[in-house]
Structure 1
């Protein structure tokens, strides 16, 4: 059952991340069929969109990690702060992602771009959405034990 749950969370995460990717492209003026290759006007928009994809994957994984702590019990029952190593890992992963996204020398090395505030706010909601969709499925899983 846990594997099927992770597959479901993967689908939710993929939809959120692809939504962020296309949101960034759209806000940058991209339309289907417009090229984004090297030296073209939309290249920067494309780099920002792929960076949003990377950061979105990271934030979705946070939601998945919180959801995967238990298969049947609600997070409120086990507590958000009962696994300090998980919280330390999440803190490290967020700090590391911020460094890759915002430090200029690393942007050049890894092909990332600074994310605008609206995109940061958008992807900051992803952990709650991923965890929340799993939480909504838990009562059904509890009844089928």
Structure 2
């Protein structure tokens, strides 16, 4: 789902910049046009921003990114720092603009991208919440020294525990 959000947001960012600059559908633009370059830069920035969000969301399939935290893996943090540095160099330096055909983005574009990143966080956190609610956690058995485990229920009334897998209510 996060990949689809990234693709959708990148395209929306591209057309947001074009529309904000006065472009109308059907009008041809040269690849050297500053507005076109700014739109492609917005598309790239959207992908980078959402991939940064995604790397923190994907650290666990069910645990919230807020409980997992930002630390714990210095390689991820260094990678994010490198990614942020590169997008800023590509976007806001003359040689980055010349080499990669980009153009500086106004603050309005970054403000436009922010709700999309927050929306991606909200959707993924909702998915994880629903996944946690469906997660079957075995209850400890009374006589088992290694619980929680998927021990078969003990015979007799009151023996063993229902681990959610036995079919008993």
What is the TM-score normalised by the length of structure 2? 0.73
User: Which residue of the partner structure matches residue 94 of structure 2?
Assistant: 104
User: Which residue of the partner structure matches residue 75 of structure 1?
Assistant: 65
Larger Rg computed on CA atoms: 2
RMSD: 1.7
* Structural mapping, 1:93-132, within 5 Å: 93-132=83-122
Deviation at 1:81, TM superposition (A): 2.6
Q: Provide the rounded CA distance (Å) in 2 between the counterparts of 1:129 and 1:90.
A: 20
Q: Provide the rounded CA distance (Å) in 1 between the counterparts of 2:77 and 2:117.
A: 13
- Specify which structure has the bigger relative contact order, considering alpha-carbon pairs within 8 angstroms and separated by 6 or more residues: 1
Q: 5+ unaligned residues in a row in structure 2: which ranges?
A: 136-169
What is the TM-score normalised by the length of structure 1? 0.84
Q: Closer, same or farther in 2 for the Cα pair 1:125/1:80, shift >3 Å? A: farther
Matched residues, number: 135
1:142 to 132, 135, 143: 132
Residues 48 and 113 in structure 1, CA contact (< 8 A), matched pair in contact too? yes
User: Which residue of the partner structure matches residue 9 of structure 2?
Assistant: 16
1:91 to 77, 81, 90: 81
> Which structure dedicates a bigger proportion of its chain to helix?
1
Deviation at 1:117, TM superposition (A): 1.1
Deviation at 1:126, TM superposition (A): 4.1
Q: Closer, same or farther in 2 for the Cα pair 1:91/1:124, shift >3 Å? A: farther
